Amino acid sequence: MSVIEKLKIVAAEPASKMTAEERRRATLLTRLEEQLAAARHEVETGSPYQRLERVALADEETGEIKEVTRKKRFSSWWWIGADGNMFLALRYGGQPLSLKAGKSAIEVRDISEVVSVLEQLKQAALAGELDKLLAEAAKVRGVRGGAKSQKTSVKRDANT
């Protein structure tokens, strides 16, 4: 009996791929979860959230690979304006989503209300209420080009 004949061979279909709409929704939900965690941290501790990542680095002297935790850049979606009011902007692809014509910020009282609003936005995203906004943002992003598509080359003059 050959090796192949010993294996259990079946007709299997690959897992269905997510549609573009589902992928955008999943991305937004991931970001909303991260913002919620940051806002909850700030409510509980009173200090800003620090995102940490674990990386494997080689020791320069011994060459031994060690796992190290280091800070990773994190940008919260809320801020305090010049007038002292707090605002929250729902972002996708690095850009604020326009929730109404020309308006992209939600005014909130304090950080605890940020948590409440983020939870409401998460429910709206799960229900598909934000799919149209995400599609528009993706369309604009496609025209503008994502970060990966913006490869620029600089030509230098031979005389400089």
- Looking at residue 143, what is its pLDDT? 59
- Looking at residue 45, what is its pLDDT? 94
Could you report how far apart the first and last alpha carbons of the chain are, in Å? 73
91-135 residue pLDDT tens: 998 899 999 988 999 999 999 999 999 999 999 999 999 999 999
- Looking at residue 153, what is its pLDDT? 46
Cβ atoms of 33 and 119 within 8 Å: the answer is: no
Distance CA 15, CA 128 (A): 22
Structure tokens at 13: 């279909």
Cβ atoms of 78 and 112 within 8 Å: the answer is: no
- Looking at residue 157, what is its pLDDT? 52
Distance CA 141, CA 160 (A): 35
DSSP 115-154: HHHHHHHHHHHHTTTTHHHHHHHHHHHHHH--GGG-----
The identity of residue 114, as a single letter, is V
Taking CA atoms, 82 is separated from 79, 85, 86, 87, in Å, by: 10, 7, 9, 11
- Looking at residue 146, what is its pLDDT? 53
E strand or H helix that includes residue 70? strand 65-72
- Looking at residue 160, what is its pLDDT? 47
- Looking at residue 69, what is its pLDDT? 92
Residues of the chain with pLDDT under 70: 1, 143-160
User: pTM of this prediction?
Assistant: 0.72
